[in-house]
Amino acid sequence: MKYCMGCMEQYEDEYNICPHCGYAENTPPVNSLQIVPGSILADRYIVGRSLGSGGFGVTYIGWDALLETKVAIKEYLPSEFSSRAYGSTEITVFSGAKQEQFESGMNRFVDEAKKLAKFGNSSGIVQIIDTFEVNNTAYIIMELLEGETLAQRLEREKTIPPEEALRMITPVINSLEEVHKAGLIHRDIAPDNIFITSKGDIKLIDFGAARFATSTHSRSLTVLVKEGYSPEEQYESRGEQGPHTDVYALAATLYRMITGVVPPAALERKARVRNRKKDPLQPPSKFVKDLDDNYENALMNALNIQISDRTESMSKFLEELTSEQPVKRRLAHISVFDKLKWPLWAKIGVPAACVCLLTFGVLFMTGVIRFDANMKKEITIPEGQTRVPSVLNLEYPSAEMKLSESNLNISVTRKEPNRDIPENRVMKQMIFDGSVVAENTVVQVVISAGEAEMIMPNVLGLEADTAKNELENLGLKVTVNEEYDDSIMAGSVISQSKDFEDKVYETDEIVLTVSKGRDPFKGEPAGTKAPNFLGSYFEEARQIASENDVLIMVTEYRYSRSFAKGQIMSQNPGPGGDLDDSKCVKLVISMGFGNVTVPDVTFQDEDKAKTQLRTVGLIPQVTYEYSNSIEEGLVISQDPSPDTSIETGSKVNLVISKGAESVEIPNLVGMTKSDATDTLRNMGMVVVYEYKTDNSKSEDSVLSSSPAAGEKIRPGSEITLTICTHESTVQVPDVKGKSRSDAEKAIKSAGLKVNVVEVIDDDNVGKVISQSPKGRSSTTKGKTVTINVGKKSDDQKSNNNGSNGSNNGGSSKTTTKSETTTQKPETTPTKKTNTDTNSEPQTETKTETNTSSPQKKKYTVKVISESTEIFEVEEGATFGSVISDFSEGSENSSGQIFKGWYIGKNGNGRKVSSSDVIKSDTTVFAYYVEPQYSDWTPISDVPSGAKISEHKYTFYKPETTTSESPSLGDDWKQTGSEWKESGSATRICAEFPSGFDESNAYYNDIEHGLTSAYADETSKRDVSRSFKYYIYWHWCYPLAGSHTENDRIVSDQCNEKISGCGYTTIFEAFDSTVDEPYKEWAKGYEVRGHSTYSWWYVPKRVEVYEERITDYKKIYTYSRSVYYESDTQPNPSTVINLTHLVKYRIN
């Protein structure tokens, strides 16, 4: 039996895939910095696979051989200060200041572990088993928790009942109270750091993790915040942190548990309160019916922004949560200004103001002074338009959601450095908040890059233009100085004002000193051969170049495992090579090899992002996608994520925005204005109108569109519909840039109404910033023109300016076409509403005295899901009164996933919640999306509780085959070869010489020629041969002359003339096994009576053989492992590299 390094369960030795978790034996660590699974620490702990890693260290699953139990092993390994060679257990600590920071962090790591070990009996904190130092670092051995995080449960269940939530959180409160008394704080409490074990125990994990490795140079470790959970003091590196910090975070976690809502960010809350706006934190009773008052007050007290107002300790927090006596709500006290610093005039003016107020009260009570309806100031939002909210200081997802709720679209245009606004928050929005604009308008924003800290690249030796472009791509300012140099090629960089790997910030000025070449007075370089620069450093190379009278330049910086950082790894020409007329040797310098931290390049320009990655030794890999919210050319996402530690030379995948995908404009001609508008708004377009008189067409029908049908435009673009009217039209005055009074006068002179919206804009106080409809467009008389007018930002209450009867000192109320609100309950508004939906319907309010209670309005609500229901509700009702289920994630009958209720179809328009008040006749649509599933994922990596949809097993099976081919392709490996008989034959054969009678039976019955043996790479032939007999033969002449019949003169040629005898025309051949002797003097074989014609000799003979011929082919044997996929698990003993993969639902 052996232990699985993936789950520490035991299984049979014959398997190499764990049947419990699917972990393959000998799987390497996911990161070369991590310990190889199977290593042993302190002669006691077996290290398994990594469970997770961060900026300061790694956590592994482990086995305690002494206690015979699973454990978690936490290793101190801040990648910013240390590294490890693959396969080694010892780590290498960087020298200098980084060594000091490493040691300081390690001491805190060990010290806090020892302190936490004292709380081993505390039920709410993970148990510390052991701590020790080895391998140049430190380790903490903890109990291994199996179960899920609170975040995972909330993702699945959305909310937890208040009583159960309190029971769950109480052990954590009690444990934190003990820990705080020991002088420790957690600083990172949130649902993902609270663990629910499989036995139901609640544990607080990752205690103090982000404080172990602090660096004055690392902003990511200096300030640790989690949006919604971190109090405002945690946003400051020197904020006053203490037990109250953990109280806020735990209260925010409890708030999330019972409401399903993450509290607004503390900085956003503080900013709104300072600006005299309502705290956006909603009381939990708004989401939880019948919530106990004490429970709510305890939560809200613990969530107070100011430390002085907040619950000071965990014991006090628990006391208020469980108190049977009334708990008093402590209201927040955030000063908008400091009254102790009032100027003298204000100190004098306040008492005088009090006298004036007293006088005013008397006059009001006696009826001398009375309020007038004109003091009410109403802002009407025309149908099809919306008011722009402020998204400043919000993180991108929150900004996107907030604009979407107002039926607006976001577009990130760039990322800029800003030391005051935290990274990845909105620092600018291009349309002033408060402006009234058309729905689907794109609000462009700029995202903060924070301090925009970067690593200074090494550009020494590079061509000046290349170096300058690389630095300017990072947003750095570059100044170039030139000077003569004996060793650096003209036009290449001699020095840089910031050293390689120094911290630099966008807009920093970098001075490059560039070579003008050799001083003319010293003459041209005369070297002919390239010296050896390999292994040298840049400054050493300069010295070598000067000594050998040659020049150098750098063509590339490249990562290398073989050469240390800064060493020259190649040169052209090579050592001893001939130089051309330039006398220049081109060098490539190593960037070394190790681990680096991935920079955050999201929202950056593509070129800048690539340069930042290359500077730290990473390789950018780019793909492109359409995006409606990220402008073309910017980075949408990156993988690995920022602050991940990976090897130099690793690839970082960037997804670059192609901008919004263009859509084709449909044919709208003939449609009603309403239907055409709905169609375009559902496509994400901004709709504006022109009017044209045409009595031959239906009124309110579309005559044309611009762009026209068939053209393609991007969502958020403006499209103008020309609408048919039977009335005469007027031209809308262009009042942009004019004063408010002039604008109102011009609009009214054209027979149009005015709707004024004041927007904070210090540069355009009293002037029109924008208008709708646009100037010079055509509309019908009586329509409303909305103008956005600038006002001062510090104008809390202006005096009456007397312009057109308006009074800025009155209260401001936003109304829509279907809603009018007045200040006094004893007056009832009656509405006269223009039914034209040109954007411009404005509610005219007449104030009538009404001594009776106002009648509540009734609204019709149509709820469309898989079926349609219609409800009639009274004014003030919420959507929760007509819709029972707002929980997202459920499936409909088609298997689609519910994502919420929306005012528009297909997730368009505003998303509504159960607490939203119904303010008009409304249709809400259930928004379903197709379920999305993960890619195939190892089952060990699936989040706890995730819904698995498919299973797949991947594995390899060994196969063997044979072939006559010496190669079968890349997947077959040749393992051997042998000769195999492919055929055989036997033949009687002889080599017949010229002169032999071709009509003779021997000649025709015996095969001609002998067979040759051979062999090559793929085939061979073996020949064995045995003697059969001789054929003796000759030619002779007919009997005539002195010779006797059997003693004629013979020949080996036909028709040879023999003097006195005639021509040789008779052929004779006979066989014999006798090897008759050959007589040289007779030039023939002695046959003695065997021949009919020659008693003594014949001149020739032929040797006849029997041959055995065998042919062979070379047969090669091959093996390979064939990849298979199956939905059922195979027998692990018959396969190799078995992996269990699944797909799980991710939405």
Integer Cα distance of 403 and 672 in angstroms: 29
Taking residue 997's Cβ as centre, other Cβ atoms within 10 Å add up to 16
3-state secondary structure of 976: strand
> CA quadruple 101, 103, 108, 109: dihedral positive or negative?
positive
Residues 6+ apart with CB under 8 A from 123: 171, 174, 175, 201, 202
Distance from the Cα of residue 414 to its chain's centroid: 18
From residue 22, how far is each of 214, 463, 689, 822, 1128 by CA, in Å?
38, 53, 63, 69, 13
Letter string b/e over residues 117-136, b meaning 16 or more CB atoms within 10 A of that residue's CB = eebeebebbbbbbbbeeebe
- Burial environment of residue 762 by CB neighbours within 10 A (0 to 12, 13 to 18, 19 or more): exposed
Q: Which value, to the nearest 10 degrees, does the dihedral of the CA atoms of residues 214, 218, 222, 225 take? A: -120
81-98 per-residue burial string, b: 16 or more CB within 10 A, e: under 16: bbbbeeeebebebeeeeb
Task: Give CA–CA dist 65/205, Å, rounded.
Answer: 24
How many whole angstroms separate alpha carbon 613 and alpha carbon 644?
Answer: 13
Q: Are 349 and 342 in contact (CB under 8 A)?
A: no
CA distance 142 to 1008: 92
Phi, psi angles (nearest 5°) of residue 315? -65, -40
Q: Does 181 belong to an annotated binding site?
A: no
**3-state SS, residue 1006:** coil
Q: Which two tokens stand for residue 925?
A: 């649509």
Cβ contact 631:411 at 8 Å: yes
Q: Which of 620, 614, 622, 571 is nearest to 591 (CA)?
A: 614
DSSP label at residue 763 = G
**What is the amino acid identity at position 494?**
I
* Tokens standing for residue 397: 């997802």
Place of tokens 């060098």: 587
Report the greatest alpha carbon distance in the chain.
186
Ramachandran bin of 1023, using left for φ above 0, alpha for ψ from -120 to 50, beta for the remaining angles: beta
Q: Beta-carbon neighbour count of residue 508 at 10 Å?
A: 19
> Can you tell me the distance from the alpha carbon of 100 to that of 677, in angstroms, rounded to the nearest whole number?
66
- 766-791 burial: b if 16+ Cβ within 10 Å, else e: bbbbbbbbbbebbbbeebbbbbbbbb
Strand blocks (E) in 675-783? 686-693, 702-706, 712-713, 718-725, 729-731, 753-760, 768-772, 778-780
Percent helix / strand / coil, the chain, rounded to 5: 20, 35, 45
Which H, E and C letters describe 819-879, residue by residue?
Answer: CCCCCCCCEEEEEECCCCCCCCCCCEEEEEECCCCCCCCEEEEEEECCCEEEEEEECCCEH
Separation between Cα atoms, residue 201 and residue 460, nearest integer Å: 59
User: Binding site: which residues?
Assistant: 74
User: Which residue ranges are tagged as binding site for ATP?
Assistant: 74
